[in-house]
Amino acid sequence: MGLILALLIATNKVGPEADVPLWVVLSAHFAIALGTMFGGWRIVKTMGTKLTRIQPMGGFAAETAAALTLFFTSAKGIPVSTTHTITGAIVGVGSVNRLSAVRWGVARRVLWAWIFTIAGAALVAAGAYAVVAFVS
C-alpha cells in the first residue's frame, strides 16, 4: 500500500497528506490473499514440517518468542524482518530438543533464498530506476 500511495503522490493523483484510497487497501488485501492462497501453504509446510517438526506447544513458544522479539526491536527502533524472526524462533524451538531435530540443509536453503531475494530485489529496483530515469 505504501508503494502505491507513494506513486500516487509522485504523480499528483493524491496529495501528500492524503489517506490511502480504499481501492488501494482492497487491492493490497486481495494480492496478499492470493499470495497466501497459492504460495503461503508452501512456506507454512516448510517452516512447520520440513525445517523441524513443530508441535502445538513448540509453535506457541516460537510465536511468543518472535512476538517478544518484535516488540523489543520495535520499541528500540531496530528494523527487523518478521519472517526472519519467526524462522529463527522455529529453529530455536527445534534445536532445544536436539540439534539434529533441525534439518540444517533446509535452513541453509532458506538462508540462500533470503540472500537471493535481497539481491534480486536490488536488481529489479535498479532496472526500474533506470527505466524511469530514461523515460524522464
Quick check: 128 pLDDT over 80? yes
Quick check: 136 pLDDT over 80? no
Q: What is the pLDDT of residue 39?
A: 80
Q: 58 and 7 in one domain?
A: no
Rounded to whole angstroms, the Cα distance separating 85 from 15 reads 35
- Work out how many domains the chain is built from and give that number: 2
Sign of the dihedral defined by the CA atoms of residues 13, 14, 16, 20, in that order: negative
Q: 123 and 81 in one domain?
A: yes
- Residue 25: pLDDT band (50, 70, 90) is very high
Q: 105 and 77 in one domain?
A: yes
Quick check: 26 pLDDT over 90? yes
The one-character DSSP state at 48 is I
Quick check: 80 pLDDT over 80? yes
- Which triple of cell numbers denotes residue 35? 499470495
Q: 45 and 61 in one domain?
A: yes
Q: Find the domain containing 97 and state its range.
A: 39-135
Q: What is the pLDDT of residue 49?
A: 81
Rounded to whole angstroms, the Cα distance separating 33 from 17 reads 28
Quick check: 44 pLDDT over 80? no
Q: 129 and 71 in one domain?
A: yes
- Which triple of cell numbers denotes residue 18? 492524503
User: Do the beta carbons of residue 85 and residue 69 sit within 8 Å?
Assistant: yes
The predicted model gives 101-108 an average pLDDT of: 90
Rounded to whole angstroms, the Cα distance separating 91 from 118 reads 21
* Amino acid at the residue 96: V
Q: What count of other Cβ atoms lies within 10 Å of the Cβ of residue 102?
A: 20
Q: What is the pLDDT of residue 37?
A: 85
* Amino acid at the residue 26: L
- Residue 71: pLDDT band (50, 70, 90) is very high
When the pLDDT of each residue in the chain is averaged and rounded to a whole number, the result is 90
